[in-house]
Chains A and B, each alone.
Chain A
C-alpha cells in the first residue's frame, strides 16, 4: 500500500502551493484573540501552581499520603504518552520511510515537543522542589530509578526533536533522519520508563508487572494517531485551506491505524482485567472499582464509550474520508484518553497498601478528588499545548512537508 502511495506523495501539488488561507487566518482577529485567551488560561494555571507552592501542596492539592499521585501526574502521563505517539507517527513518516505518512510528519514532530512541554509545565507544579531536581538529577543520579530515566530521556528527546525540526527546516534531510532516528529511540525508552515507574512498584498490585511498559507504548501510538488526526484537521479548519490529496491520503491511513490501535488497547484492557480476576484480592478490588465501583462511570462512559468505542465506530464509518466524523472521533478519543490516564494513576492507589491485613483503618477503598488548584494547573497545561499548536502553525507555515528529494542530502 505504501508503495502505491509514495508516487502520489512525490508528485503531490501541496508541496509547492502557498498556504494563503492560513496567512489570512493568522492576520485575523479571531486568531489573535484565541492566542490571547489561551495565554491567559495558561497564565492562570501557572498562577494557581505558584499559589499552591506558596501555601503548600498539603492544603492546595487533593493528593495525600495514601494517594500521593493525582491528576497532575495523570495529566503529565497523558501528555508524555501522547508526545511519544506523535514522535512515532513523525518518525514513521520521515525516518522509517512510510511515505504515506510524510505529510503529517513535521506537524507530528512539532506537536511531540509541544505536548511534552505541556507535560513538563504540569509536573513542574507537581514536583515539590523542582529547583532541587535541576541540581540533584545531574549531580546525584540514581540509575536504578525509572523516574530518573524517564525525566532525563524526555528532556533529551526535546533536544533531539528540536534539532531534528531545525534540520528539517534547513532541508538537511539526511542529518534530520539521523537525529530523528536517535530521537525516536530515546523517546520510546522514555515512554517505557514512564510505564515502568508504575510497573515496578511492587506494592501496588494493579500496576505491578511487565504490562505497564508494554501497554504504555501501545497506548502512546493510540494517542499519537488520535492527536495527529485532531490537530491536522484543526489546522486545516483554521487555515480554511482545501486539503491536498497527499494529506487526505495520510489522514485516511492514520485513521485506519487509529482504528487498529483502539482494537489493540481494547484487547490489552480485556486481558489485563481477566488475568486480574485470577490474581490477588487487591488487584481484583481495583478492577472492581472500574467495572462496578466508584470509577465505573469513568471506565464505561469516558474510557470505553467516548475514548474508544464511539471513535472506533466513527473512524470505521468515515472510511478515512469523512473529515467531520474523523474530527469528532479523534476529539472524543483524546478526551477519553485523558480519563484513561487519570483512572490508571488513581485506581492504582485507591486500594490501601495494607488491604490484605484486614484492619479497621483500611477496610474500603481510599478516595481522591482533584482540588481546584490541581484542575487549574491541568487546564493551564492544556491551554499551553493549544497555544503552542496555534503559534507553531503560524511560525512554520502549517508545517509543510517537502519531498526529501528536493533538499540537501
Chain B
C-alpha cells in the first residue's frame, strides 16, 4: 500500500489503497480518531502526527479516560504463524479446544512482487465504542472503566449470543465450561490483575509482533507506534464505528 502517492482528482482511495494527499492530510488531523479510509480492499489507514495528537489529547482523554489505556499494536509483517501466541493464550486462559480468543489469519497476495503470504493475528479489539457492550441485554459484557478492557461478568451472561452477532470482528465464542460468552480480556484476569505487565500472547511471541502497552502514556511503545507519522497504522473494519484499540502496522 502506497499512501504517499498523489492522484489529485480522485477523492476516494482506489482498490490499491492509494490515498490522495488532501485526504491524507485530513485524516492526519484527526489524531487518534480512526477515520474511514479504505485501503487495499482490506484495512484502513489511520495515522497521527505527534503535535496534532497533543492538540487533541484532552479531547481524547475526556472521551476515553482510561489509565492505563491498554492497547496493542500488531506488526503484521513480522508474524511467521508459529502460533505460540495461540498456545500461550489457550494455556493461560483455559480456552477450550473448540474456541479461541486469538487466531492468525492467512492472506495470500497472488500478484505481489515480493512477499506472497502475510499473517494477520486477530483478537478482541477492546473497542472504545464496543458494539457488543451496547447489545448485551444484561450488562454482562462491559467496558472496564479503569483500563478500557472489554470484559465479561460470567454470572450475568444469559447466553443469547447477541454480543457474538454484534462483534464485527468475530472476537467472541460461547464457552460451555463457564456457561458464558468468552473473549480476550488482554489477560486481565489471569495476568494483568496479578501484576504482570504483558499479555500471554505478547510475551510468547518470538518475533515481537504483538506490542502491548498503555496508549495514554506517551513514552510507551504502543503510543509511539500509533503516533508515528512515518508509518501507516490501520484497524479492522473501521466502517463499523467501533473504534478499536488493536492497531496494525508494518515494520
Chain A residues within CB distance 8 Å of chain B: 56-58, 63, 65-66, 68-69, 126-130, 132-133, 136-137, 140-142, 144-148, 151, 197, 200-204, 349, 352-354, 356-362
Contacting pair A204 B106 (CB below 8 A): no
Contacting pair B134 A145 (CB below 8 A): yes
Contact A200/B135 with A140-B156, A354-B170 known, Cβ cut-off 8 Å: yes
Contacting pair A65 B138 (CB below 8 A): no
Contacting pair A129 B179 (CB below 8 A): yes
Can you spell out 15 A-B residue pairs with CB atoms less than 8 angstroms apart?
A66-B170, A132-B138, A142-B136, A200-B135, A203-B240, A349-B165, A353-B170, A354-B122, A354-B170, A354-B236, A357-B43, A358-B41, A358-B42, A359-B105, A361-B106
> With an 8 A cutoff between CB atoms, is B113 at the interface?
no
Give A77 Cβ to nearest chain B Cβ, in Å: 13
Chain B residues within CB distance 8 Å of chain A: 41-43, 98-99, 105-108, 120, 122, 131, 134-140, 155-162, 164-170, 172-174, 176, 179, 236-237, 239-242
Give A398 Cβ to nearest chain B Cβ, in Å: 38
**Other-chain residue from B99, B106, B138 in contact with A136 (beta carbon distance below 8 A):** B138
Contacting pair A127 B139 (CB below 8 A): no
Contacting pair A127 B136 (CB below 8 A): no
**Alpha-carbon gap, A203 to B127, bound state (A):** 13
Contact A127/B237 with A203-B131, A361-B105 known, Cβ cut-off 8 Å: no
Contacting pair B173 A65 (CB below 8 A): yes
Contact A357/B138 with A69-B161, A129-B158, A132-B157 known, Cβ cut-off 8 Å: no
**Other-chain residue from A127, A128, A145, A201 in contact with B165 (beta carbon distance below 8 A):** A201
**Other-chain residue from B41, B134, B137, B169 in contact with A141 (beta carbon distance below 8 A):** B137
Contacting pair B173 A147 (CB below 8 A): no
**Alpha-carbon gap, A201 to B42, bound state (A):** 20
Contacting pair B174 A68 (CB below 8 A): yes
Give B64 Cβ to nearest chain A Cβ, in Å: 18
Residues of chain A within 8 A (CB-CB) of B159 are: 127-129, 132
**Other-chain residue from A56, A58, A132, A202 in contact with B158 (beta carbon distance below 8 A):** A132
Contact A359/B137 with A129-B158, A136-B158, A353-B170 known, Cβ cut-off 8 Å: no
Give A74 Cβ to nearest chain B Cβ, in Å: 13
**Alpha-carbon gap, A56 to B138, bound state (A):** 22
**Other-chain residue from A132, A144, A354, A360 in contact with B108 (beta carbon distance below 8 A):** A360
Contacting pair B41 A148 (CB below 8 A): no
B237: nearest chain-A partner, CB-CB: A203
Q: Which of A66, A129, A197 has the most CB of B within 10 A?
A: A129
Contacting pair B138 A128 (CB below 8 A): no
Contacting pair B170 A137 (CB below 8 A): no
**Other-chain residue from A130, A136, A145, A357 in contact with B162 (beta carbon distance below 8 A):** A145
Give B87 Cβ to nearest chain A Cβ, in Å: 18
Residues of chain B within 8 A (CB-CB) of A136 are: 137-140, 156, 158
Give A235 Cβ to nearest chain B Cβ, in Å: 35
Contacting pair B168 A147 (CB below 8 A): no
Contacting pair B137 A203 (CB below 8 A): no
Residues of chain A within 8 A (CB-CB) of B139 are: 136, 140-142
Contacting pair A128 B162 (CB below 8 A): no
A146: nearest chain-B partner, CB-CB: B135
Residues of chain B within 8 A (CB-CB) of A204 are: 165
A133: nearest chain-B partner, CB-CB: B158
Residues of chain B within 8 A (CB-CB) of A357 are: 42-43, 105, 107, 120, 236
Residues of chain B within 8 A (CB-CB) of A140 are: 138-140, 156
Which are the 9 A-B pairs with shortest beta-carbon distances?
Answer: A128-B159, A203-B168, A148-B137, A136-B138, A68-B161, A133-B158, A202-B240, A359-B105, A68-B164
Give A180 Cβ to nearest chain B Cβ, in Å: 28
